[in-house]
Amino acid sequence: MRAVVLEEFGSPLVLRDIEKPTAGPGQALVRIGASGVNPLDAKIRAGKAAHARRTLPAVLGLDLAGVVEEVGAGVDGLAPGDEVFGMTGGVGDLQGSLAEYAAVDARLLARKPSSLGVREAAALPLVFITAWEGLVDRARVRAGQKVLVHGGAGGIGQVAVQIARARGAEVFATASAPRLSVVEGLGATPIDYAATSVDEYVAEHTGGEGFDVVLDTVGGPVLDASFNAVRTYTGHVVSALGWGTHSLAPLSFRGASYSGVFTLLPLLTGRGREHHGEIMREAAALAEAGGLTPVLDPRRFALTDVADAHAAVESGTARGRIVVDVA
């Protein structure tokens, strides 16, 4: 089969023929239709993502959508011909999705919703799982709450806005001035983070009380700002990029709580993979109900154009999720 291979960190990706895998026990062999591209993929390629524990040579790509070709022993609930999607590899020693086929842990897969095309489905897994783990698993977001999403126009931010709204919360989202219309179009109240201070938007939108849930998708100073924006006592800050050194004093003085999300953990350890499959089924149900629509960049990329797809992600100019057409 054809696959895009990284032979050395920092070196160009190479399109070449490699051996087609077969489905082992507990696995499904998926004929890949599309592969979602994440900023993490570009960081792994550059050798700047030690936390991904990627071994080389490697096929990158975390997210896929495609069709089950065969299933291994012990696989229930999936059969050849099923359209599926999931976050299935690309880190550790797991083959990624920039290939025509992948043998993946069937627990990570869910049936693709009929309301989404293969490209739209491939754009969802990592960002949806991250947002769901933060908002639902950690913060238990619910109706009546005010939720602030930092980086609301980004990949995680866009689905986070939709998840929070679907669960009945009132959603606010920070973005740069040119992207405010994106979050507003998703149903969130936009906040220009460059033109409005934390104290100002907390006063304007919460009467100075703070937000019930703050989801940080940016990290660094934005996580520090989150500690200053959360509600006293009952507030909860969640971050997908809480990797730096931060003062917890603002959070502690509010008596609020904090949780981190590390979405790769089930792929790297094998623990919790069933839950990732459950989250993907939640994504499918939300999409079928009309509550989840991924925003895709209009550009099209094939396996021969993966370097350009990575460059598009790294440039910060993408107007939605970048997807590589594999089939």
Residue 44 has pLDDT above 90, yes or no: yes
From 216, 241, 260, the end of a domain falls on: 260
Q: Are residues 116 and 163 in the same domain?
A: no
Predicted local confidence at residue 288, as pLDDT: 98
Mean pLDDT for the chain? Answer: 97
CA distances from 86 to 126, 210, 243 (A): 8, 35, 25
Q: Are residues 194 and 273 in the same domain?
A: no
Beta strands in the chain (DSSP E): 2-6, 14-17, 27-37, 58-59, 63-71, 83-87, 101-105, 110-111, 146-150, 170-175, 189-192, 213-216, 236-239, 257-260, 301-302, 322-325
Number of domains forming the structure of the chain: 2
Q: Are residues 240 and 277 in the same domain?
A: no
From 260, 284, 313, the end of a domain falls on: 260
Q: Are residues 276 and 254 in the same domain?
A: no
Predicted local confidence at residue 34, as pLDDT: 98
From 207, 239, 260, the end of a domain falls on: 260
Q: Is 2 exposed, middle or buried (0-12, 13-18, 19+ CB in 10 A)?
A: middle
115, 294 Cβ separation under 8 angstroms: no
Each residue of 104-158: pLDDT tens digit?
Answer: 999 999 999 999 999 999 999 999 999 999 999 999 999 999 999 999 999 999 9
CATH number at residue 109: 3.90.180.10
Q: Are residues 134 and 14 in the same domain?
A: no
Q: Are residues 163 and 115 in the same domain?
A: no
Q: Are residues 212 and 251 in the same domain?
A: yes
Residue 56 amino acid letter: L
Residue 91 has pLDDT above 90, yes or no: yes
- Please name every residue paired with 325 in a beta bridge, in sequence order, or none if there are none: 34, 302
Q: Are residues 140 and 222 in the same domain?
A: yes
Predicted local confidence at residue 318, as pLDDT: 83
CATH number at residue 142: 3.40.50.720
Phi (first) and psi of residue 293, to 5 degrees: -135, 110
Q: What span, in angstroms and rounded, lies between the C-alpha atoms of 186 and 26?
A: 38
Q: Are residues 132 and 233 in the same domain?
A: yes
Each residue of 226-251: pLDDT tens digit?
Answer: 999 999 999 999 999 999 999 999 99
Predicted local confidence at residue 316, as pLDDT: 81
Average pLDDT over residues 246-273: 97
Residue 317 has pLDDT above 90, yes or no: no
Each residue of 173-200: pLDDT tens digit?
Answer: 999 999 999 999 999 999 999 999 999 9
Confidence bin at 159 (pLDDT 50/70/90): very high
Q: Are residues 293 and 200 in the same domain?
A: no
Give pTM, 2 decimals: 0.97
Residue 212 has pLDDT above 90, yes or no: yes
Q: Are residues 180 and 156 in the same domain?
A: yes
Q: Are residues 212 and 137 in the same domain?
A: yes
Average pLDDT over residues 65-86: 97
In percent, the amount of the chain with pLDDT more than 90 equals 98
Q: Please give the residue range of the domain that contains residue 10.
A: 2-124+268-325
Predicted local confidence at residue 319, as pLDDT: 85
